[in-house]
A and B are shown apart, each in its own frame.
Chain A
Amino acid sequence: MTAFVYPFEREYMQLALAAGLVVGVSAPLIGAFLVQKRMSLFGDGMGHVAFAGVAGGLLLDVWPVWTALVFTVAAALAIERLRARGTASGDLALALFFYGGIAAGVVLASRAGAMDAGILTYLFGQPLTATRADVFAVTILGVVIVATIAVVGRALFATVIDEDWARVAGLPVAGLNAALAVLTAITVVAAMQVVGVLLVAALLVLPVASGQIVARSFRGVLAWSVVVGAGSVITGLVAARVWSLAPGGTIVLVAAAVFAIVATTVRFRRGRMPEVVHAVSGHGEPHEHPHN
């Protein structure tokens, strides 16, 4: 670690870098599947539920990471169950937990007497205050995410293309969807420390948005998204240190800037807006090829 030079010569910056890199790598891996399933806002909803979990932890005097993990995993499974059973449409189920989560967070935090500057750490992230225990927990969560995707990634990809086909092929579609929901919940909790619950969805989606423009295959999207995610974390932390900026917000702004640069470059090279814009905005149109 002593080999690090400015701006990573201090231990707190090294810990922030370690936690940030774990999140920068793992979040886009999950985001690539969410974006293709038109579930880009799922991470945002999980972030709101995580806020309730943090507030619950503060109220119960339990480490907020654990309570956030319990809250988000439970909510993720509940949303997926509602969606799969058709009880509520995907976005309506998400909205129920989205608003319920933030409301519960406010109520629980006020009950705990924690509606002060301390709660901002969780809302907007503060990687510079991460402890070794925090980094250890984030790393464990990151390893779980990457290892799980390594095993179920191909099958998840098959469900992205066509869920009915995947069922006929004998793939456990309900289990895979539940796994993706739980992985998203875990990612949100891991990323909470780095960019905060309000910005967590950005690390799930923005690197993927850039990766989809550059890559020419799904494997390529995963690789480019991870590069952009990790690169945004490093660049964001450096910029935050050099110019004394809020690191969570800076990381997200870097990821957004990368997308803007890549999208603009491609637009000028191809003479039109890249198709990924439709995906990110959730307005992807069915493709009708002129040959038909």
Chain B
Amino acid sequence: MIEVTDLSYQYGPLKALDGVSFSLPKGKVVGLLGPNGSGKSTLCLCLAGMLDRKGSSGEIKISGQDLGSFAPEELALKMAVVFQDNLFSFDFTAYEIVLMGRSPYLRPLQPERPEDHLIAKKAMRDCDCFDLKDRPIRSLSGGERQRVVLARALAQTTSVLLLDEPTNHLDLKHQKQILSLVRELAESKEVLSVVVLHDLNLAGQFCDHLLLLDQGRLVKQGTPEEVLTPENLNPVYQINVHKIYHPVTGRPQIII
């Protein structure tokens, strides 16, 4: 679904990504891990086709087609993105925000069709924010806003989801809920999700595949069992970690 070959990205003299290659099949939940400044967000922006191509070298292919050859309106049908900060200048209602996820399917003056409303409402229920539907977006808390923006991404009904720290601002209940939802989409609709995560344990719990970045390099990739080991993590995070297993799910977990 997504194939990245020898991707590098430079902000002026600063090398943010250095020769990254990986291939991700559809229907997987992929965690993007690494310390602050390791290149996670840059990689995310590259995958979203948001960065100036001047600074980049290498190749990104989506369903076998070069990312650069997609027009924004084509890409919006394939991939939905949730960014880290979501600032709003105007008080749209939460529902209006979610409905904007349907705009790639609509012509300029065409009103939203009944199915667009159905999809938007379902996305809001899935993200547990339907009760916020008529609230002005700026009156919502960070976590509530995060869920609304996620619902907008779901309303885009794409086969790829790109989520930059979607669990930011979320409480435990909603962290679990959102990542379970991403899992469910992977299993029922073969959606490929690429998720930037800071929490290694959430990554261990919910992801099929992990990419570990350090200083712009991809230092390790594989299953959580393969990636979440003290040998891999200690040099990257520069602390000593220990690996244990979740008492119920048996998934690898990291404690410090």
Chain B associates with chain A: no
A residues contacting B by CB (< 8 A) are: none
B residues contacting A by CB (< 8 A) are: none
